[in-house]
Chain A
Amino acid sequence: MMEDPAHFLVVTAVVAVATFATRAIPFVFFNARAPPQILSTIEKNLPPMILLLLVIYCLKDVQWLYAPYGVPEIFTIAAVMGLHLWKRNAMLSIFAGTGLYMLLVQLDVFSIIFG
C-alpha cells in the first residue's frame, strides 16, 4: 500500500465535510423557521426509538443461526436489564454487564455447552 499524503488529506477532507453535512442538515434547514408541527411531535418520540434501535444495531453482527446462537449477547443483555431494573444504578449495570460479557466470550463459556 503506497502512502500519498496529499491524497490522504484530500480523502480525509471529503469524508469530514460529508460527515459534518449529515450532522448540520437539520440545523441549517430549521434555523430560520420553526419545524412543521408533525416534526416537533416526532422530535419527542425520536430519542426513545433511536436508543432502542442502537441496542438492536449493536446485535447486527451476531450469527443467530450458528453456535453460540447469540446466547452470550442475549444472556448478558437480560442480565443488564435485570440488574438495572433492580438497582437502578447505571454504572453498576454497565460495568457488571461488560465484565460478564468479556468473561463469557474470552473463556468461550458457551462453546463448551454447545460443543
Chain B
Amino acid sequence: MSQQSESLFTSALKTTLPVFLGYIPLGMAFGFLLEGAGYHWIYAPLMSIFIYAGAGQFIAVALLAAGAGLTEFAITTLLINLRHSFYGLSLLEKFSGVGKIKAYLIFALTDETYALLTTTKAPDEGSKGKFYFYITVLDHSYWILGSVLGAVLGSVLDLRLEGMTFVLTALFVVLTIEQYHASRSRFPFMAAMGAGVISLLLFSPDNMLLFSIFIGTLILIAHERFVQNDLEVRNIAEQDPDQEKIP
C-alpha cells in the first residue's frame, strides 16, 4: 500500500469509527435475533453480506418466523428500502467518475454510509472514488462482523451494550450541524422538521422514515417551484417595458 493510499485508508477508518461502534451492537442484535429464531449462525453473515440493510434484515427475520410468502418478502423489502432511491438521487453527480467500483458503492448504500458520503470530503478530488470505496467497504465489514458476533456470542455473553446504538443518533446530530454550517439555505431543515413531525404523528415507526423523506421531498419541490415563479415574476417586473427584448 502506497503512502498516499494508506493515509486515505486511515482517514476513512477515522471517519467510519462512529459507524463501527453503532454497527457492532446493531449487527449483534440482528445476529442474536436470527440465531434465536432457530437459524445456524452462518446465515447471519450470509444475509449481512448480500442484503446489507438493517431494518430490511430485521423485518426479513420477522417474516421468516411468520412463514411469509416470497411476494410478501419482495414487497415489504421494496417499501422498507425505498428511501434508498432518494439517497441515490442526491449522489448522481458525486458517483459519476468514481470508476468501476460504482456498482459496489450503489449496492452498499446504507443510511449511515450515505450520511458519511454526503458530509465528508475526500482529501483530494483525484482519490474520491478510492476514499468512498474505503468508507463503504469498512461500514459493510463492521455490519458483517457485528452480525457474526451476535449470532455466535450473543447468547453466551452478557454485554452491557444498552444505549450504545445512540452513537448513530449522535453521529447524525453532528453531521446535521455540519450540514447546517455548510449549506446556504435553511429551508431543507425546516422541511425536515415539518415532514418529520407529521410522519411521527401519522405513520408507524417502521414506515416513518420513508414517508417523511417522501413528504419532505414534496415540500422541497413545492418550495423550489414557488421560488422560481417568484423569480420569474420579479424578472419580468424589473424589465424596462420600453426596451425591446433581446432574443
Binding site for B on A (CB under 8 A): 1-3, 8, 10-16, 18-27, 30, 35, 38-39, 41-61, 73, 76-77, 80-81, 84-85, 90-91, 93-95, 97-98, 101-102, 104-106
| Contact across chains for A76 and B89 when beta carbons are under 8 A apart | no
Interface residues in B22-48 (C-beta closer than 8 Å to A): 37-40, 43, 46-47
What distance in Å separates the Cβ of B158 from its nearest Cβ neighbour in chain A? 13
What distance in Å separates the Cβ of B88 from its nearest Cβ neighbour in chain A? 4
Beyond A19-B52, A51-B175, A53-B213, is A60–B81 a contact (Cβ under 8 Å)?
A: no
Of the residues B43, B52, B92, B174, contact of A35 by C-beta under 8 Å: B92
| Contact across chains for B175 and A53 when beta carbons are under 8 A apart | no
| Contact across chains for A27 and B70 when beta carbons are under 8 A apart | no
| Contact across chains for A102 and B164 when beta carbons are under 8 A apart | yes
| Contact across chains for B217 and A46 when beta carbons are under 8 A apart | yes
Chain B residues bordering chain A, tally (CB within 8 A): 92
Instruction: State the majority secondary structure of interface residues on B.
Output: helix
Which stretch from B125-133, B141-149, B190-198 is at the chain A interface? B190-198
6 contacts between A and B (CB under 8 A): A26-B89, A38-B221, A45-B220, A46-B86, A60-B208, A81-B177
Of the residues A12, A27, A38, A53, contact of B92 by C-beta under 8 Å: A27
Instruction: State the majority secondary structure of interface residues on A.
Output: helix
| Contact across chains for A24 and B106 when beta carbons are under 8 A apart | yes
Beyond A12-B51, A20-B107, A50-B114, is A57–B77 a contact (Cβ under 8 Å)?
A: no
The 7 closest A-B pairs by CB, nearest first: A1-B38, A26-B88, A56-B196, A52-B192, A18-B77, A102-B163, A46-B90
| Contact across chains for B217 and A90 when beta carbons are under 8 A apart | no
Instruction: Kindly name the residue among B18, B106, B169 whose own CB sees the greatest number of chain A CB atoms within 10 A.
Output: B169
Per-position contact with A for B203-234: 1 when CB-CB < 8 Å, else 0?
00100110011001100110011000000000
| Contact across chains for B73 and A97 when beta carbons are under 8 A apart | no
Beyond A19-B56, A26-B89, A56-B196, is A12–B174 a contact (Cβ under 8 Å)?
A: no
Of the residues B39, B47, B57, B87, contact of A23 by C-beta under 8 Å: B87
The interface residues of chain B lying within 8 Å CB-to-CB of A43 are 89-90, 92-93
What distance in Å separates the Cβ of A9 from its nearest Cβ neighbour in chain B? 8
